[in-house]
């Protein structure tokens, strides 16, 4: 069995984020492995990390490019007390934690493209997915928060069709970073931010999100199913919804795929 380099950063008792970190050389997706562990009753805070994913999952059915040995691919099992409708806010909470962790190795360069993309110098360096699992009574049983961060990925390792859109810490800083140290910062910040949202609600974190908000003043189009909304992004509100100024007045958007005018995506 592979030595687990992440065991040294395990912290706390069952229930604390990162109390147990399962490590794999290769998985299909850490989301899949975490779902199986959750089904077996794994405690909140259990994390699955892999060196390589053969079927890494992105949002909207996309694949997540997951080459071995260079990035961080992690899924955290959460068991929050919240209505299903509020689960998408955990994407934003994880986004703040991931931005804080990336900031330790790429200071001043991190931004969040609502709702779930991490940008370094305007290109995507990470993404977040929050998948809710329900029990037989359709009650929320857990949320699998998957975070992918491009850390030591070199430009030539990015598929040609993504090279203009994706980046990594190594590409923007010119230096490799310590992946275990980034993971430690990430799990520590996720624990702290998750505790805050559970205690005080998302409104307490909305200013923090705003510090990293990449879209302010940008002309954007949001597609949610068949609905298209275009306008100038103002910020997010206290529930995590995106606020847009449109020709017919201000509007709130709670979900969707955002494209930004002038940014190649």
CB nearest ligand BTN: which residue? 127
In the complex with ligand BTN, the residue whose CB is nearer, 29 or 206, is: 29
Supply the minimum distance, in Å, between the C-beta of residue 57 and ligand BTN: 4
Binding site for ligand BTN (CB under 6 A): 29-31, 53, 56-59, 62, 64, 73-75, 116-117, 127-129, 146-148
Supply the minimum distance, in Å, between the C-beta of residue 99 and ligand BTN: 14
Supply the minimum distance, in Å, between the C-beta of residue 22 and ligand BTN: 13
Enter the tokens of residue 67.
Answer: 């080459």
**Rounded to whole angstroms, how far apart are CA atoms 136 and 120?**
41
In the complex with ligand BTN, the residue whose CB is nearer, 91 or 206, is: 91
In the complex with ligand BTN, the residue whose CB is nearer, 73 or 212, is: 73
**Rounded to whole angstroms, how far apart are CA atoms 26 and 83?**
34
Query: Burial of 14 by CB count in 10 Å (0-12 exposed, 13-18 middle, 19+ buried)?
Result: exposed
Supply the minimum distance, in Å, between the C-beta of residue 141 and ligand BTN: 19
Q: Whose CA is closest to 41, among 135, 156, 162?
A: 135
Supply the minimum distance, in Å, between the C-beta of residue 46 and ligand BTN: 14
In the complex with ligand BTN, the residue whose CB is nearer, 80 or 146, is: 146
How far, rounded to the nearest angstrom, does the alpha carbon of residue 167 sit from its chain's CA centroid? 15
DSSP letters along 117-133, please? Answer: EEEETTEEEEEEEEEEE
CA angle 21, 211, 220 (to 5 degrees): 100
In the complex with ligand BTN, the residue whose CB is nearer, 64 or 187, is: 64
């Amino acid at each position: 069995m592979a030595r687990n380099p992440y065991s040294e950063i395990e912290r706390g008792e069952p229930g604390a984020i990162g109390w147990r970190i399962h490590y794999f050389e290769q998985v299909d997706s850490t989301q899949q492995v975490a779902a199986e562990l959750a089904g077996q009753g794994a405690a909140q805070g259990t994390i699955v990390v892999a060196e390589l994913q053969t079927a890494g999952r992105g949002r909207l059915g996309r694949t997540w490019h997951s080459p071995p040995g260079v990035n961080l691919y992690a899924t955290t099992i959460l068991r929050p007390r919240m209505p299903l409708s509020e689960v998408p806010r955990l994407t934003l909470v994880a986004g703040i934690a991931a931005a804080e962790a990336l900031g330790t190795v790429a200071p001043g360069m991190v931004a969040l493209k609502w709702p779930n993309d991490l940008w370094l110098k305007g290109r995507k360096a990470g993404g977040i997915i929050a998948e809710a699992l329900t029990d037989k009574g359709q009650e929320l049983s857990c949320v699998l928060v998957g975070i992918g961060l491009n850390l030591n990925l070199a430009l030539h390792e990015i598929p040609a069709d993504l090279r203009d859109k994706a980046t990594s810490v190594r590409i923007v800083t010119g230096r490799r970073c310590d992946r275990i140290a980034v993971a430690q910062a990430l799990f520590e910040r996720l624990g702290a931010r998750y505790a805050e949202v559970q205690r005080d609600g998302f409104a307490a974190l909305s200013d923090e999100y705003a510090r990293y908000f990449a879209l302010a003043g940008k002309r954007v189009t949001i597609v949610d199913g068949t609905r298209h909304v275009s306008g100038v992004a103002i910020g997010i509100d206290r529930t995590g919804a995106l606020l847009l100024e449109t020709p017919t007045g201000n509007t709130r958007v709670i979900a969707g795929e955002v494209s930004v005018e002038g940014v190649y995506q």
